[in-house]
Structure 1
Amino acid sequence: MIVVTGATGTVGGHVARLLSAHHPTRVLGRSRGRLREAAPGADAVGADFADRRSLERALDGARALFVVTTDPSRPDHDENLLAAARTAGVEHVVKLSALAVTDEGATDLITAWQRENEERVRACGLAWTILRPRSFMSNTLSWAESIRASGAVLTPQPHSRNASVDPRDVAEAAVVALTAPGHGQRHYALTGPEPISPAEQCEHLAEVLARPVRCCEIPLERAYLSWARRYPEPIAQALLDSARRQGEGAKQHVDPAVEKLLGRPARSYRDWAKDHAERFG
């Protein structure tokens, strides 16, 4: 049995669907209804990351565990999952982290939280694999409403580049780590095949959608105000710090891990855009 957390999210849902086609798979979270919708082929079990006993019950009989947590204010979630995994006899933990942890200049809340989570995983006493993706290509879905309304994308630093990765590639890498031997005590940096800027992404979207998509620059300060309306201040500040690092070229490096793990090249942004064109109207 393989247990997947985060199955209602971007990567976890892909992982659960891929696994459940060939392996006994269980998804856990608070809402069994949402879990069943996200991963219909998997067994859905209710559990609360703040309740270690509920996690122990949900992990009973599991051989491997895919860990996704999303709340930097709750370090106990990772602590509880790892403690429950040890108690339940889980053999291997695969943790979704972030590539920013390798950047010494990244000191924001989210990156610091991920570094601490990685330390917990390495110290947990189980076999572990840590996946460190660059930002997801699917983040550009946040442009969809603006593209439908005005054919324009408003973004800071439109010519800064990021080696963003297709979340489907991240999910497939996770499945390999969860099901194949030889991935214990390993870190994998997961990137796309090339660094790409928002302006270049807009060009690909325009080609795929067969209509103009303008990329319009806004000041970082304006972007921060937008984030601050949607997120708590520390998260908005972390997003601002991340954008600044991208502008300084910190996110351009391409790593071959995806191709080595999957036996094929990483998907390009144009591949991703073609497959999700209908989301942009």
Structure 2
Amino acid sequence: MILVTGATGAVGREVAGLLAAAGPVRVLARRPERLTVRGPGVEVVAGEYGDRGALDRALKGVTSVFLVTNSPTEPDDERVATASAEAGVRHLVKLSMMAVEEPGAEDLITRVQRRNEQTIRESGVPWTFVRPRTFMSNTLSWAPGIRSSGVVRALYGDAPVACVDPRDVAAVAVHVLTGAGHEGRAYAVSGPEAISAREQTAQLARELGRPLRFEELDRKTARTALLARYPAPVAEAFLESAERQSAGAKAAVVPTVGELTGAAARPFRTWAADHRDAFGELKP
């Protein structure tokens, strides 16, 4: 039995769906009502990482775990790693981030993920780290502006990023969870091209069949918008990450998706075509 956490998120949802299509899977969910993966082969345990009773129930009889960190301020990974070791889990696959292996990345979120990886290494449970670059699905945050005014607003419009489709990250994770010989390895995962926000906007415009305008935010305006949505340390981490992207630190393309899954990584235009409905019609 494989346990999937984060199954309402971009990658965890896809991992749970792929596993459920092949056999039984167990899901630990804080809000089971938000799960989109259902069926006779999907066992749901309601609970969160801080609820040790729920965590123990979810881990009973489990051989492998797909772990998604829930919070940068809570010891989520330590809780899961400790409980996994005590439950006899044989493989812990953690969704991390590519930045952890980049020495110039020192923002809060990256530091937390580095610490989480070290915690898992020290837990005694055989591990694999899946380290994706920025998700293509992050552009869904542009949807309100696209629907209301046909405008995308973002920092550093010409800064390239080798963003990756969450479906490809999930395919790598499932390959690792169900295959052999991946213990003790870390896999960086990117899309097939480095693309800027301005280029993404143009591709979305083509898919939607209507013009979109890109407006580059200055750092002060971006910071204000982030602080309206996130705690200050998290907002600052996003700003630091954007600065690294503007310096070209996120443009490298790696071949992991094709090497592990045998299928080419999806470009942004494919993701955009598959998700055009999420951006809706322009409001009058």
The whole-number CA distance in structure 1 between the counterparts of 2:53 and 2:142 is: 41
Equivalent residue of 2:130, what SS? strand
Q: Percent identity?
A: 50
The whole-number CA distance in structure 2 between the counterparts of 1:239 and 1:226 is: 11
Supply the AA of the counterpart residue of 1:114: Q
Residue 72 in structure 1 maps to residue 72 in structure 2: yes
Which stretches in structure 1 are left out of the alignment for 5+ residues? Answer: none
Per the normalisation by structure 1, the TM-score is: 0.96
Residue of structure 2 equivalent to 1:247: 246
The whole-number CA distance in structure 2 between the counterparts of 1:216 and 1:275 is: 24
- Contact (CA 8 Å) 1:133, 1:190: kept in 2 or not? yes
The whole-number CA distance in structure 2 between the counterparts of 1:45 and 1:110 is: 28
The offset of 1:47, in angstroms, is 2.5
Equivalent residue of 2:84, what SS? helix
1:45-89 per-residue CA deviation (whole Å, 9 max, x = no partner) reads 1233113333122100001000001211102x2111111111111
- Contact (CA 8 Å) 2:45, 2:57: kept in 1 or not? no
Q: Which runs of 4+ in 1 moved over 4 A?
A: none
Supply the AA of the counterpart residue of 1:247: S
Equivalent residue of 1:215, what SS? strand
Per the normalisation by structure 2, the TM-score is: 0.95
Residue of structure 2 equivalent to 1:119: 118
- Contact (CA 8 Å) 1:52, 1:81: kept in 2 or not? no
Greater alpha carbon shift after TM alignment, 259-268 vs 24-33? 24-33
Equivalent residue of 2:22, what SS? coil
The whole-number CA distance in structure 2 between the counterparts of 1:23 and 1:94 is: 18
Residue of structure 2 equivalent to 1:232: 231
The offset of 1:104, in angstroms, is 1.1
The whole-number CA distance in structure 2 between the counterparts of 1:224 and 1:109 is: 15
Residue of structure 2 equivalent to 1:184: 183
Residue of structure 2 equivalent to 1:52: 52
Supply the AA of the counterpart residue of 1:69: T
Supply the AA of the counterpart residue of 2:142: W
Equivalences, count: 278
Greater alpha carbon shift after TM alignment, 40-49 vs 188-197? 40-49
Residue of structure 2 equivalent to 1:33: 33
Residue of structure 1 equivalent to 2:62: 62
Written as runs of structure 1 = structure 2, the 5 A alignment for 1:1-281 is 1-34=1-34, 37-41=35-39, 42-75=42-75, 77-281=76-280
Supply the AA of the counterpart residue of 1:124: S
The offset of 1:105, in angstroms, is 1.4
RMSD: 1.1
